[in-house]
Structure 1
Amino acid sequence: MLPSELKTIVVMGVSGSGKSVVGSLLAEKLEGVFEDGDDFHPPANKAKMSSGTPLNDDDRWPWYAVLRQRIEDMRHLTPYYVLACSALKPIYRDKLRAHDAEGTLEFVLLDGTKELIAERIGARKGHFMPPALLDSQLATLDPTPDVLRVSIDQTPEEIVADILKTLEATA
């Protein structure tokens, strides 16, 4: 059983780690709602990334404000809200967490090797994030002790099972 106060789960990690697939499966399993944070990027951010230019913090702050508002809105609409968002730096996670009470929002890092993630990025089609930005994302990734880490070196269903087991252990 998950902690009763838990309302939001942010599935985080670098591009290609499986946030959308895993987040969608997790929300389905929890009978909650899943959304991909990438869907909330303004067109200018998507164009910048598509051209191979990493976003800077000035590009990100309005996007994180939108995601935080979405977290608050969804708490009134569903028992569990699962959001896929890279959330690579502690300050980004702080923006998403805002003033939440402890335990109402958890970050789950989909953790894998550069080689595995690069392979996955190379296999996907139609995503605006080019493989060339993987190195910059890995360099930016700064997991803190409060982030729950789950290995992506398994099937999406096994990853979801690991997430649920890890979250239940924190109850």
Structure 2
Amino acid sequence: MTLEAAGFWGVAVVLLASSLAVVLTPNLFHAVLFLAVSLVATGVVFLLLQSPFLFAVQLLLYAGGVVTIVVFAIMLTEQLVGGRIVQTSRYVLNGAVLAAGFFVAVAGFLIRSDAPAPGRAAPGDPTAEIGRALAGPYALPFELLGVLLVSALLGALYFARSDD
């Protein structure tokens, strides 16, 4: 086993364990911390796939930005409610069965597909290709996503403000 494969399997174990902890932890703040670990581990997978740009985007936008927004949302919600928020996982068995079925379906699809075996990285600069796609045919959806996120943030601020 190569060092890269051992690193991947180590990151995969951390990713799987932290993802399960997000779902099964009753303390909502601890769940967000496990979410941060899960998002960082996903970024490391991008790094192992030789995609440093996606690694940086994953760390900055998701592990940094999204987790920060969720922490603020929890703090504001606990302030409005006046107590600790505890999440309950009532449907763990149903979720596990659904996840196992989804895993079997994806594994079956991958086994039957004619995709080539992984090899070297694709030729060309993937960062430049992503930039051209975001500035070209996907410019309008990208801008609309920005407007949606800003309006969601403004709506959250409106509902979180106090009435006094």
Q: TM-score normalised by the shorter chain: which range applies? A: under 0.3
Structure number with the bigger relative contact order (C-alpha 8 A, sep ≥ 6) is 1
Query: For the pair shown, which has the larger CA radius of gyration, 1 or 2?
Result: 2
Which has the larger share of helix?
2
Which has the larger share of strand?
1
TM-score (norm 2): 0.26
